[in-house]
Amino acid sequence: MKKTFKLEGLDCANCTAKIEREVSSLDGVDSAVVNFMTTKMVIEGEEDKMASIIAAAEKIVKKYEPHVVFKKM
């Protein structure tokens, strides 16, 4: 299952790399890509774990970029 999100206000390339690395390592995630230029994050993972993956991904984003608005696309 693939989900795409908009990270409005993402302004730190280094933080983007950290977010991508941490989300990629979550249980059930096959791949996670965060594009700094388009401020989009694409997560591919197990459908039955997607709700917990999304919740954890949002916490990771807030940890590095507290002002970012995490929106489903």
Domain enclosing residue 60, as ranges: 2-72
Q: How sure is the predictor about 40, in pLDDT bands with cuts at 50, 70 and 90? A: very high
Question: Among candidates 51, 29, 50, 2, which has minimal Cα distance to 40?
Answer: 2
Q: What is the CATH number of the domain that holds 50?
A: 3.30.70.100
pTM, whole model, 2 decimals? 0.93
Q: Which two tokens stand for residue 69?
A: 């608005």
Q: How many structural domains does the chain have?
A: 1
| Integer Rg of the chain from CA | 11
Could you tell me the maximum CA-CA distance found in the chain, to the nearest angstrom? 32
pLDDT above 70 coverage of the chain, percent: 100
Length of the chain: 73
Q: How sure is the predictor about 21, in pLDDT bands with cuts at 50, 70 and 90? A: very high
Q: Let me know if 24 is exposed, middle or buried by CB neighbors in 10 A (0-12, 13-18, 19+).
A: middle
